[in-house]
Structure 1
Amino acid sequence: MTHLPERLLTGYRSFMTGRYQAESSRYRALARDGQEPETMVIACCDSRAAPEAIFDTGPGELFVVRNVANLVPPYAPDGEYHSTSAALEFAVQSLKVRNIVVMGHGRCGGIRAALAPEAAPLSPGDFIGKWMSLVAPAADTVSQNTMMTAGERQTALERISIRYSIANLRTFPCVKILEDKGRLTLSGAWFDISGGELWVMNRETGDFERPEID
């Protein structure tokens, strides 16, 4: 009797006979020497938008933290539990990553919830509602734009929330100091699940642009 879904066990068998076998020396080196990823990706926990798959990376290349709607809260050393802030602290202070990418995606359920605050909570704790309140001001503004369709409002807030998260990253002293010294870069990206398109945020204008792909 197994205690994992059969699909996971099947995938593990395929991993061991395929990718692990091909990259076993790399895995052993990572186990021996530790990880040294240059890039941290803050992504949504949506099962359709996995950074490792989108960027086709191998083991040890990305340090990934995923949460609902790929949000970064503002710096708040208040003694509470902050999982995203803890991961950020570890990536910047211990792993010394050189890049942080906030990657959003189309059809995000968390963003949809932010645009419908009147919806009933999924549980008495309303954890999603509380979490998405981080972008409530922008959600209120976007919701009031009747010239946009529902889909356009959704996409707009998905991209605006990325800019919000990058602004919040700069409230962390360790991030701001290293960015000012040129030792850390902050980037934004948005992935369209349906078409596979990646849009990258222009650091100067904030606009999202398609990178050239040969």
Structure 2
Amino acid sequence: MENARPLPSYLVQRFHGWKATAYAENKAWYRRLADEGQRPRAMMISCCDSRVHVTSIFGADQGEFFIHRNIANLVPPHEPDGNQHGTSAAVEYAVTALKVAHIIVMGHSKCGGVQGCLDMCSGRAPQLEEKSSFVGRWMDILRPGYDRVKDITDEDAQSRALEKEAVMVSLENLMTFPFVAEAVKTGDLSLHGVWHDIGEGSVEQYIPGKGAFVPV
């Protein structure tokens, strides 16, 4: 592969720093993880956004979260059509192989993917309507959520509402996977929806009895 290049020097320096400190001080733990395999308690589905650092937010150690990140933390509906489905494959592996006890879908404020969905669905981003747009076709997953917030007139309130709809649509789609629905039914798996305000450092969780996101 002629286009590949060595790592940037700052990453190499950071690696050596990690190896000499965090790894050296916990070498037995890392070797145990390597020898015994992973047994994560939860699967975390979050956005690719570099500002969202789920392990830091929840103080998770190595081996605790099975993390899958994608644009706008979306889960597509169950569609075994022979195409390549990275998110669906991650969910299947987490539930059927790793036997996670929880799946947490985490949305966040100022999400670029959600804003793209708003722009596309309101006609402000025709480029995302093109069949060749990977982002646009991925954001089609969120169209049902847009339909529920399209009449909100305040732009900031609409954007925040759609960020939370991205969580709700994903939770709804998770239940279309037979193995997820069965695990939820038997009590072996629970689903959770949370939303993170980056600037405030706060987290809200969805409470079914209230039908709303409330601070944790």
Normalization by structure 1: what TM-score?
0.92
Conserved 8 A contact 1:41-1:62: yes
Residue of structure 1 equivalent to 2:60? 57
Alignment partner for residue 31 of structure 1, among 13, 31, 34?
34
Percentage identity across paired residues of the two chains: 40
Q: Which amino acid aligns with 1:75?
A: H
How far off is 1:200 after superposition? 1.1
Conserved 8 A contact 2:131-2:137: no
1:61–1:150 CA distance, 2 compared to 1 (3 A): same
Residue of structure 1 equivalent to 2:155? 150
* Alpha-carbon distance in 2 for matches of 1:12, 1:61: 21
Aligned counterparts, 1:60-79, within 5 A:
60-79=63-82
* Alpha-carbon distance in 2 for matches of 1:159, 1:172: 21
* Alpha-carbon distance in 2 for matches of 1:168, 1:205: 21
1:151–1:6 CA distance, 2 compared to 1 (3 A): farther
Aligned counterparts, 1:3-152, within 5 A:
3-117=6-120, 118=123, 119-121=125-127, 125-146=132-153, 149-152=154-157
**Uncovered stretches (5+) of structure 2, i.e. residues with no partner:** none
SS in 2 for 1:121: helix
Conserved 8 A contact 1:189-1:201: yes
Conserved 8 A contact 1:163-1:206: no
Q: Which amino acid aligns with 2:43?
A: M
User: Runs in 1 of length 4+ with deviation above 4 angstroms?
Assistant: none
* Alpha-carbon distance in 2 for matches of 1:204, 1:78: 35
State how many pairs are aligned: 208
**Uncovered stretches (5+) of structure 1, i.e. residues with no partner:** none
Residue of structure 2 equivalent to 1:164? 169
* Alpha-carbon distance in 1 for matches of 2:131, 2:177: 31
Conserved 8 A contact 2:205-2:213: yes
SS in 2 for 1:189: strand
* Alpha-carbon distance in 2 for matches of 1:68, 1:92: 21
Moved more, 196-205 or 59-68: 196-205
* Alpha-carbon distance in 2 for matches of 1:145, 1:195: 23
Conserved 8 A contact 2:40-2:98: yes
Once superposed, what is the RMSD of the aligned Cα atoms? 1.6
1:206 paired to 2:211: yes
